[in-house]
Amino acid sequence: MRCKLLLLLGCALPLAACSSTPSSVDTAPGQPKPEVAGVGSHCHADTLPALVGKMASQEVIDKAVRDAGARTARVVKPGMAVTMDYREDRITISVDADNRIERASCG
């Protein structure tokens, strides 16, 4: 009998450790979730074509981020490996070997 009890406890305790409790901050099904400050920025691509041909200096990149309403920018140099993830709050700027902007897009 004692062996069965230990076996039962040995199986039940790991399962209990994997369980989760419902979050106490869930909103009602019909209500929108609260927004976090600074989140929700979207890149507006209409300002990006003007960047083509400019040197990719820090000032130009910072201005492009502000003008497009994005949160971040990544500069892609020739031959550089990049992830294929799409982020709506980011500008991707492709430059040539001379650091001149060839293409700029959201994502």
DSSP secondary structure letter of residue 99:
S
Q: What is the pTM of this model?
A: 0.61
Cβ neighbours for 97, distance < 8 A, ≥ 6 positions apart? 77, 78
Locate the domains of the chain by residue range. 45-106
107 residues of the chain, pLDDT tens digit each: 677 766 666 766 666 666 665 554 444 455 544 444 445 578 899 999 999 999 999 999 999 999 999 999 999 999 999 999 999 999 999 999 999 999 999 99
List the structure tokens of 47. 């300002």
pLDDT on residue 52: 96
List the structure tokens of 95. 């430059």
Say if CB 95 and CB 76 are below 8 A apart. yes
CATH number of 45-106: 3.30.10.10
